[in-house]
């Protein structure tokens, strides 16, 4: 791994470790490569669930948006979400951990498009998401 990629990966881990919303939902970056990222999130009954005891759609959407944003950032680009959709496939009970995997599918000059899959601890697809992101700058070593 070259120095620029290593610096960017460490920088992203540091800034997301400090992000208050990411901390609130207890998301953790598991793997970080250029254009592909994995983030885990526990589904805690007292924090992430709806009135039925399943993962709240908003917590899963937040995870999808975050993992897709980090995938964009792993390409060195600062982005904001323009549009995002999510399909909920299977419910997830509290007390488990979900894994979100995002892959950049379009890395343009002004926009990026990313897909994310969220899986339960058995590897079952829980949700599928796609987002479009506006590039507002670059991550550069200061």
Both tokens assigned to 47: 């924090």
For the entire predicted model, the pTM comes to 0.96
* Helix pair angle (57-73, 3-18), 10° resolution: 150
Q: Counting beta carbons within 10 angstroms of the beta carbon of residue 26, is it exposed (0 to 12), middle (13 to 18) or buried (19 or more)?
A: middle
pLDDT surpassing 70 at residue 21: yes
CATH code of the domain containing 107: 3.10.129.10
How many structural domains is the chain composed of? 1
The string of pLDDT tens digits covering residues 61-105 is 999 999 999 999 999 999 999 999 999 999 999 999 999 999 999
- Domain extent, residue 46, equals 3-138
């Amino acid at each position: 791994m070259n120095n620029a990629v290593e610096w960017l990966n460490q920088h992203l881990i540091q800034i997301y470790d400090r992000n208050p919303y990411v901390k609130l939902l207890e998301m953790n970056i598991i793997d970080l490569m250029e254009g592909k990222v994995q983030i885990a999130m526990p589904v805690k009954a007292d924090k992430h669930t709806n009135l039925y005891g399943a993962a709240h759609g908003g917590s899963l959407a937040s995870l999808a948006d975050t993992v897709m944003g980090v995938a964009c950032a792993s390409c060195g680009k600062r982005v904001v979400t323009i549009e995002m959709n999510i399909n909920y496939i299977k419910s997830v009970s509290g007390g488990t951990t979900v894994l979100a995997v995002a892959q950049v599918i379009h890395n343009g000059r002004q926009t990026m498009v990313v897909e994310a899959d969220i899986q339960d601890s058995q590897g079952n697809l829980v949700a599928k998401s796609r987002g479009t992101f506006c590039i507002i700058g670059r991550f550069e070593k200061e």
